Chains A and B, each alone.
Chain A
Amino acid sequence: MLQRTQRDLRRRLTPLYAAAFLQNLALWVPIEKLFMTSIGFDAASIGVMAAIYAVAVPIFELPSGVLADRWSRRGVLILASIAAIVSVAIGGLSQNVATYMVSALFLGIFFAMQSGTFDSVVYDTVLEETGGSEVFERTIGRVRLAESAALVAGALAGAAIAEIAPLRATYFLTIPALIGCCLVLLIFREPQLHKAEESEPLREQLSATYRTLLQPGRLRHAVALIVVAALLMQGMLEFGPLWLVALSVPAFLYGPHWAGLTAALGAGGLLGSQPRLTRRWAAVLLAIIGVGSCVVLAISRSVALLIAAQVMLTLVVVAVSIPATRRLHDAVASSVRAGVASGVGTLSWLAFVPFALVVGFVSDRAGIWSAGWLLVAIAAVAGILMVTVLPGEAVAPAEAAPGAAQKAIEPTFEADRFYPADHPDWPGHWSSPPAVWQGIGISVDGDDALAEVKAAIRAMPPQLRQVIVMRDVQGRPPKEVQQTLHISGDEELDLLQQARGTVRARLERFLDGQTT
């Protein structure tokens, strides 16, 4: 990418990074469970609230997405911040369970509005400034960093404030940050790309989602692992502080506790990207650590051990969910990827509803330690799934089981189409030469062939796709492409060669199917 483009992009995104930080600087989060207990919540009503919340978010998610597409993404983000302000104001003023539930409902609206919209606005800004999606992962990584830094900073500051001021103060002191968030969003120049973009019909997406989700095989195991991992994670975030409440731990320890959990999100992400994680011994080790952490939660009365166990469990769950998600995508065709991704997300939310109610009920009747045994059971199921799902096919696309899924990158021609190097007469020459497409009696000009080309370009990795889109679709000259993407001539040729090879292989399979 040109230096100038990079600088323009950074300048344009700065308000968004600031917004991500300010929106997540929630001082009340670490002491929330303590505060809730003080206004009359017990474990059962906390469970009910978590369940209401888990139902509310998916309900608001879709309308807020439609609103963002049709009206304005920046506008929806500002509305989200306003919902958050309403939520913390009501929360801080709450004297009883009922008003606090209203506060939680507004928080649900905030989260539903904020979640998909933030990623979309970042994505479209990157696309508008650079002409491609190549730097999206890096950019969204910075957003996540800003969010996690804000969560950690908010946790530590919130706990410190709670030591010297009433618990309610943490709610009210969060409001200036949220107002600041609205202001920086007003500075942000919104991308206009989505206005021209047509979206997939909802009904089609839903039916394709269900078909894919319900098909038997490995996909089910991967989906199950992701859902169970999400249960454990959400359970930790929602009920983790209850152990501290039960032990009457002083407020200042809630900060480090929450900071530990949020830091585990980042560290788990790092761990999850390690290829070694998918070896059998690593999966077994992670399963043991996961179950072991839950056993500690079920029996230990030591604050340090309990916090350590919660952090370890969170770390393991985040780490595992990354290769599990990759497994999911390995097994899903790109045409239904969007549907399946949101389908799994919705499943996770819905599975959390009964789980939250049962955990709330059990810990209310028998204490939070008894609820810990529920976590042990869930972690055991997760452990079995980890050991079955993770050591499956290798991570690198090159080593993926042949025919298991449409491959993202294909060789120019498969090696077995040439005679081997030790062949007496024709080393390295064709044993199975390609056909002259125009001469095999079918047309490569049809819409079907073009759809295959489009599908192949869709499925390939962003670096490849970007080059073939700029060169062959948009017809830009090589020099311009090299400059825009900041790559050498050789790299550009290499990427284009791979991209065209991938399209060619898919087209060949399609045309072979037409003639036989």
Chain B
Amino acid sequence: MTDDHPVDELRCLEVVELLTAYLDGALPDQARTQVDEHLRDCRGCRAALAQWRTVAELAGRLTPADIASLDPYVRNRLMMTVRSPRRR
């Protein structure tokens, strides 16, 4: 939230940045109430929240094997950045 904006009136621009904290239940009570009120009146932000849940839910369907298969890429990227043609 920016200082120049009235605290009782969240803008969509600000609400979307709070989505993760909101879903985690990590917002202070007052902020949580404000987001709740905003969501009641704002269809766009409700859609954004739904997308956020979808993302978390889809990520949850990936398996540890999917994560393990990420590693060769990271490994190669990192090896490339440190690769310097060395002594034979």
Contact = CB atoms under 8 A, between A and B. Distances in A.
B38 to A, nearest CB: 10
A449 B87 contact: no
A435 interface: yes
A345 B59 contact: no
Interface string A114-144: 0010011001000100000100110011001
A140 B43 CA distance: 49
A497 B21 CA distance: 8
B54 interface: yes
B30 interface: no
B22 to A, nearest CB: 10
Interface string B2-25: 000100000111101101110010
Contact of B71 (A57, A127, A151): A127
Contacts of B86: 147, 237, 265
A397 interface: no
Interface stretch (A281-289, A302-310, A454-462): A454-462
A163 B12 CA distance: 75
A168 interface: no
Given A193-B68, A197-B68, 15 more contacts: A119-B82, A144-B82, A151-B87, A269-B84, A325-B80, A412-B17, A429-B44, A430-B44, A436-B50, A450-B58, A458-B70, A473-B59, A497-B17, A504-B51, A507-B55
Interface of B: 5, 11-14, 16-17, 19-21, 24, 26, 42-48, 50-52, 54-56, 58-62, 64-88
Contacts of A435: 47
A34 interface: no
Interface stretch (A75-83, A172-180, A369-377, A464-472): A464-472
B85 A322 contact: no
A91 to B, nearest CB: 12
B73 A458 contact: yes
A497 B72 contact: no
B26 A478 contact: yes
Contacts of A503: 55, 58-59
Contact-size category for A: 35 or more
B20 A427 contact: no
Q: Chain B at the A interface: mostly helix, strand, loop or mixed? A: helix
A293 interface: no
A64 interface: no
A504 B52 contact: yes
Nearest to B25: A478
14 contacts: A53-B88, A57-B88, A119-B82, A136-B78, A198-B69, A268-B84, A337-B76, A338-B73, A412-B16, A428-B13, A429-B12, A462-B74, A473-B64, A504-B51
A138 B48 CA distance: 37
Which residue, of A198, A433, A465, has the highest number of chain B Cβ atoms within 10 A? A433
A474 B11 contact: no
